[in-house]
Structure 1
Amino acid sequence: MPPRRAVTGRSQEPRQRFAEELRLLRAQKGDSLRQLGEILGWDSSLFGKMEKAQTLGSPEVVQALDQHYGTRGLLLTLWELAAGDPTQFKERYRRYMSLEAEAVSLWHFGVSTVHGLLQTPEYASAVLAVGGIKGEELTRQVEARIGRRELLAGPDGQPFRTIVSETVLRTPLRDAAEWQRQLEHLIEASERPNVTLHVLPHDAGPHGLVSTDVMFLRLPEGGTVAYTENAHHGELIEENASVERLQRAYDAVRDQALSPVESRKFVMRMLEEVPCDPST
C-alpha cells in the first residue's frame, strides 16, 4: 500500500499544525500581534511564540483564541493533540468534576483566589474574565460555577475545609461593593456547620504549597485524590504516594494557619477596611 499523502498540504506534525493554524486565523482576521494582545489581555510576545511553535500556551489562552476566532473548540483540540495527550485538559477536568460531586468531604488551599464553591457571581465573573472569557461563554461558566455551590448547601452539604492565603484577602475586586459582598459571603459560609475556614497569614513564612492551589477529595470508598492548579495548568493526581506528599504539605500549612474563630475575625477586619461608597 503506498504511503498516505496529506490532502491539504498542511503540516502533519501536531505542534507545527497548531502554530500554522494560529498564523492562518490571525491573518484571516487581520489582527496584528499587538492588537491580539490588547484584545485578549495577554502579552503579544506570547502569541508570537505560539505561532512559531516555541510554546503551546495554556488552555485558558487557547480557549480565549477559540472564542476570538469563532473556531468552536478547534484550537483547543489541536492544542490537546500538540500537547501529546488528547484527553489532557478536558477529560481530566471532567473527571475531577465528577469526583467532586461524589466526594464525601473536601479540603482546599487557595494561594491566589477564593475557591469556586465560595465565590459570589461577581467574584466568579471577575476571575473568569481575567482568563479571557467573554460574552455568553462567561455567563455560562459563571452560572455553572455558582451552581456547584449546591454541594455545600442544606443539611447534607459536603464537609468542606478551606485555607486561604492572606494574599487572597488582600487582592480585592476593583468594585468595592462587589468585594464587600464576596467577603460577607465568605463570613456567612464559614458559619455553616459543614464549612471550616482558615486564613494563612503572611507572617507564617514559606511553606510547601507556596505557589499551588490544591483541592483534596475524599471518595466514598475511602481513597483520596488531589487536583492542583496554577495560572497555566491544572492536574488531577490519583497516585497514592503523590497525594500523600501533598497531604503532608497541606497539614503543615494548616498547622501554621489561624484557627476558625481567629480566621473569621480576620475576614471581618478586612471587611471593615473596604472603602465606603460615597453615594450611599
Structure 2
Amino acid sequence: MGDGGGTSSRGVVGRTFLSAREWYARELASRRRQSGLTLVELAKLCLYEQSYLHRLERGQRLGTVEAAAALDRVYGTGDLLVRLWHLARRETKDRLLPGIEPLEREAVSIQEYAVAAVPDLLQTRAYAREQLQTAHVGEERLAAEVSGRIDRQERLTGRDPLHYRALIDEAVLRRGARDPKTWAGQLEHLVEAAQRPGVCVQVVPFGSGPHPIRACLELVYFRDAPTVAYTQGSWSGHLTEDPEEVEPLRLAYDVLRDTALTPAESLAFLRALREEQAAPGPSQGPES
C-alpha cells in the first residue's frame, strides 16, 4: 500500500518527520547558502565564533536565542529564526539524554558534583564495574560500558587534558563499595587523582548543611560555545544550554564549592579514609 504522497512518521517507507531542531539547523544552513556568505564572513557580521555557527548549522548545538536574533538581523528574516529557535527549544527542553560523553570530548573544563557515586571520570575499573552491575545488564554489555567509562578518562590525562573539578558528597565516601578491595583501590585512585595538575577534588562534608543541588550535576565549558549543564538521576539525564537554566545551576555550584573542604583538606580527608580502610576492624572514616 502506497503512502499516498503525504508526510508520515519515521519508519514509513520514503518519508520522515523532521524535528523542529532539524528544521532550524537546515534553515540556518539554507539562509547562509542563499546569502553567499562563508562561515568566516558570517562570523564577522554576527560576532559569533565560526566553529559555533558551524555546530548550529549541523544541528549539533541549539545555541542561544541571542544567536538566532543576530542571524535574523544578518539575513533580514525578521524574527523567523527566533521563532524556529523557540519551537526547537520547546520540543527538546524535556528530552532525556543517555549521557554527556560527546560534549566531554570537546570540553575545555568540567565542574561536577557527585551525590550518589564517585564521578565517572575518577572511577577505577573495579568500582565502575560494581556500579554498572546494579543495572543487571549482560556480561558483554557490562564489559563494553566499563571500558567506555574508563576510556572517557583520557580527557584528564591525554595530550590536551581538560581542567576538572569534582565536588564529592561525603555520603559517597561513607557508602564506599561492596568489595573492600574495590573500595581500597578506589580510595587510592582518588588520592592520586587529587594530586594531578588540572584536577581538583573537594569533599562536601555533612557539616556543610542543606543546599539546592539535589542530583548529580555536570557543568561543561567550551572554548567557543556557551556552557551547558547536565543533571542526572537514577535512570535518565537532562541536558540544557539555555542560559536561564544554566546560570542558576552554575551559581548554586559556586555556593556549594564555597562550603566544601579546601583541596588540601579534602586530600587529607581522603588519606585518612584510606588509612582507616587499611586498618583492621570496622571503619567509620574520619570525623568531618
TM over 0.5: yes
Where structure 1 has 5 or more consecutive residues not aligned to the other structure, the ranges are: 5-83
Which residue of the partner structure matches residue 134 of structure 1?
A: 138
% identical aligned pairs: 38
Which residue of the partner structure matches residue 185 of structure 2?
A: 181
2:260 to 257, 261, 271: 257
Q: Residues 250, 181 of structure 1: CA spacing in aligned structure 2 closer, same or farther, 3 A cutoff? A: same
Which residue of the partner structure matches residue 246 of structure 2?
A: 243
- Whole-angstrom CA distance in 2 between matches of 1:179 and 1:112: 15
8 Å CA contact retained: 1:112, 1:168: yes
Where structure 2 has 5 or more consecutive residues not aligned to the other structure, the ranges are: 5-90, 282-288
CA offsets 1:95-131 (integer angstroms, 9 cap, x no match): x321110011111000111111100001100111112
* TM-score after normalising by structure 1: 0.65
- Whole-angstrom CA distance in 1 between matches of 2:235 and 2:141: 19
- Whole-angstrom CA distance in 1 between matches of 2:123 and 2:158: 17
Which residue of the partner structure matches residue 224 of structure 1?
A: 227
Of residues 150-159 and 254-263 in structure 1, the stretch that sits farther from structure 2 once superposed is: 150-159
- Whole-angstrom CA distance in 1 between matches of 2:233 and 2:280: 34
Deviation at 1:233, TM superposition (A): 2.3
1:169 to 158, 167, 173: 173
Q: Match for 1:271: what amino acid?
A: R
8 Å CA contact retained: 1:176, 1:275: no
- Whole-angstrom CA distance in 1 between matches of 2:152 and 2:229: 18
8 Å CA contact retained: 2:101, 2:152: no
8 Å CA contact retained: 1:93, 1:236: no
1:234 to 234, 237, 240: 237
CA offsets 1:141-187 (integer angstroms, 9 cap, x no match): 00010011100004631100000000010111121111011011011
8 Å CA contact retained: 1:125, 1:142: yes
Deviation at 1:134, TM superposition (A): 3.1
- Whole-angstrom CA distance in 2 between matches of 1:274 and 1:132: 28
Q: Residues 93, 233 of structure 1: CA spacing in aligned structure 2 closer, same or farther, 3 A cutoff? A: closer
8 Å CA contact retained: 2:98, 2:236: no
- Whole-angstrom CA distance in 2 between matches of 1:243 and 1:156: 26
1:269 to 259, 268, 272: 272
Q: Residues 158, 244 of structure 1: CA spacing in aligned structure 2 closer, same or farther, 3 A cutoff? A: same
Which residue of the partner structure matches residue 62 of structure 2?
A: none
8 Å CA contact retained: 1:114, 1:168: yes
8 Å CA contact retained: 1:226, 1:238: yes
Whether 1:102 aligns to 2:93 is no
* TM-score after normalising by structure 2: 0.63
Whether 1:125 aligns to 2:129 is yes
Question: 4+ residue runs of structure 1 moved beyond 4 angstroms?
Answer: 275-278
Whether 1:153 aligns to 2:161 is no
Q: Provide the alpha-carbon RMSD of the alignment.
A: 2.5
Whether 1:93 aligns to 2:93 is no
Deviation at 1:245, TM superposition (A): 0.7
8 Å CA contact retained: 1:106, 1:159: yes
* Rg larger for: 2
Of residues 162-171 and 132-141 in structure 1, the stretch that sits farther from structure 2 once superposed is: 132-141
Deviation at 1:225, TM superposition (A): 0.1
Whether 1:190 aligns to 2:194 is yes
Which residue of the partner structure matches residue 66 of structure 1?
A: none
Which residue of the partner structure matches residue 27 of structure 1?
A: none
